[in-house]
Amino acid sequence: MLPCASCLPGSLLLWALLLLLLGSASPQDSEEPDSYTECTDGYEWDPDSQHCRDVNECLTIPEACKGEMKCINHYGGYLCLPRSAAVINDLHGEGPPPPVPPAQHPNPCPPGYEPDDQDSCVDIDECRYRYCQHRCVNLPGSFRCQCEPGFQLGPNNRSCVDVNECDMGAPCEQRCFNSYGTFLCRCHQGYELHRDGFSCSDIDECSYSSYLCQYRCINEPGRFSCHCPQGYQLLATRLCQDIDECESGAHQCSEAQTCVNFHGGYRCVDTNRCVEPYIQVSENRCLCPASNPLCREQPSSIVHRYMTITSERSVPADVFQIQATSVYPGAYNAFQIRAGNSQGDFYIRQINNVSAMLVLARPVTGPREYVLDLEMVTMNSLMSYRASSVLRLTVFVGAYTF
């Protein structure tokens, strides 16, 4: 209640007005603020808790991380990590970091320490606040970040970046592939990775299969090659083909000889193979003249032929067909092996009156040579006629099954 102005003397009235003016003045107008609401970078003032709180840059900064990177909020900042990266929670911490007090009065402790209730300086365990991406080592008044094997500290000394071990002398013997946090060793074709994960061992392809090469497989470092026996050449990369020395001219036959090719080699035979009383009438045909008394008990002609077969051929096998060149009315033809088959390796199967088949009866192994006289006997009972001719067949058996 204000004093009544008419009830007070003049001096007292002046004193009352002075007190009224002094009492109505705000005490805050005469006091200076005793606190500040300023926070360090990465934090903002929270008026409710009256402390600084972390800013979630992943929410406040549009597209904080580009490309395939994901944003991970961090105390006082944020990290951009691959989407496949796993973030491990701090299971050993003691809860969230304490609120950062506003910058008020100068901290009497050195950096990395905080004063306790007894005004003693206590080391701050910064590792509790997950400042480091991988591992954190607390130090007196500071901390140091470390990375897992395969990583190294980035420019900010907190995040970890992949190390390209392949460029830093990785112990791979042949090929090195860098991957996130590690590396892989690989081998060239024809090699396999050793159990140590670094060195390479040659693969012996020849030991895996006997069908890689038709004749012989030779293992070589990192590969294999196929070889053929003498008289053969490699066809493509695995098959063997007979070399026709007679056609290629790679033979030693004289002008008086004829080159006869067979599997794996060749033979030089005399151009004139006729022996008395036979006379040569063509390159491969000998005739015994009817006028010569010595020819009465001999085949009228001998024709020379040559062929080759493979070793260990499956049996029975048709190998050569005999065909009569002339047919006479009322005549009957019979076929037989006249000579050269003492072991019974062949037999004749007559097809009809004018043809027969030479059949291989047993498997034969080369190299071997047969000279078979295949005789065709022509008979006519009405005319009491009998004559014969011989096909002298030389059969070369190759040394191999191909």
pLDDT tens digit sequence for 173-182: 999 999 999 9
Evaluate if residue 33 carries a pLDDT over 70: no
* Encoded tokens for 2: 């204000």
Q: What is the mean pLDDT of residues 308-328?
A: 91
Helix (H, G, I), strand (E, B) or coil at 14: helix
Sign of CA dihedral 103, 106, 112, 118: negative
Which of 176, 134, 179, 184 shows the shortest CA–CA distance to 154?
134
What local confidence, expressed as pLDDT, does residue 4 receive?
43
Evaluate if residue 1 carries a pLDDT over 90: no
Q: What is the DSSP string of 317-384?
A: EEEEEEE-S---TT-EEEEEEEES-TT--EEEEE-SSSEEEEEE-S---SSEEEEEEEEEEEEETTTT
| Mean pLDDT over the full length of the chain | 84
Evaluate if residue 277 carries a pLDDT over 80: yes
What local confidence, expressed as pLDDT, does residue 88 receive?
53
What local confidence, expressed as pLDDT, does residue 38 receive?
66
Please classify residue 329 by burial: count the beta carbons closer than 10 Å to its beta carbon, then call 0-12 exposed, 13-18 middle and 19+ buried. Answer: exposed
Task: Return d(Cα 61, Cα 211) in angstroms, integer.
Answer: 67
| Tens digit of each residue's pLDDT (9 = 90 or more) over 236-264 | 999 999 999 999 999 999 999 999 999 99
More confident residue, 196 or 89: 196
Task: Return d(Cα 352, Cα 323) in angstroms, integer.
Answer: 10
Do residues 72 and 61 lie in contact, with contact meaning Cβ atoms separated by under 8 Å?
no
pTM over 0.95, yes/no: no
Do residues 22 and 30 lie in contact, with contact meaning Cβ atoms separated by under 8 Å?
no
Which residues are CB-neighbours of 282 under 8 A, at least 6 positions away? none
Task: Return d(Cα 287, Cα 373) in angstroms, integer.
Answer: 15
* Encoded tokens for 349: 């199967």
What local confidence, expressed as pLDDT, does residue 27 receive?
39
71-107 as b/e: b if 16+ CB within 10 A:
bbbbbbbbbebeeeeeeeeeeeeeeebeebebeeeee
Do residues 77 and 157 lie in contact, with contact meaning Cβ atoms separated by under 8 Å?
no
Confidence of residue 268 (pLDDT cuts 50, 70, 90): very high
Q: What is the mean pLDDT of residues 271-277?
A: 92
Neighbours of 344 (CB within 10 A): 9
| Tens digit of each residue's pLDDT (9 = 90 or more) over 41-78 | 777 888 887 777 888 989 998 888 877 778 888 877 88
More confident residue, 327 or 345: 345
Q: How many residues does the chain have?
A: 402
Task: Return d(Cα 340, Cα 368) in angstroms, integer.
Answer: 13
What local confidence, expressed as pLDDT, does residue 316 receive?
96
Task: Return d(Cα 228, Cα 243) in angstroms, integer.
Answer: 11
In the chain, the percentage of residues whose pLDDT exceeds 90 is 59
Distances (CA, A) of 301 to 22, 272, 341, 348: 161, 14, 20, 20
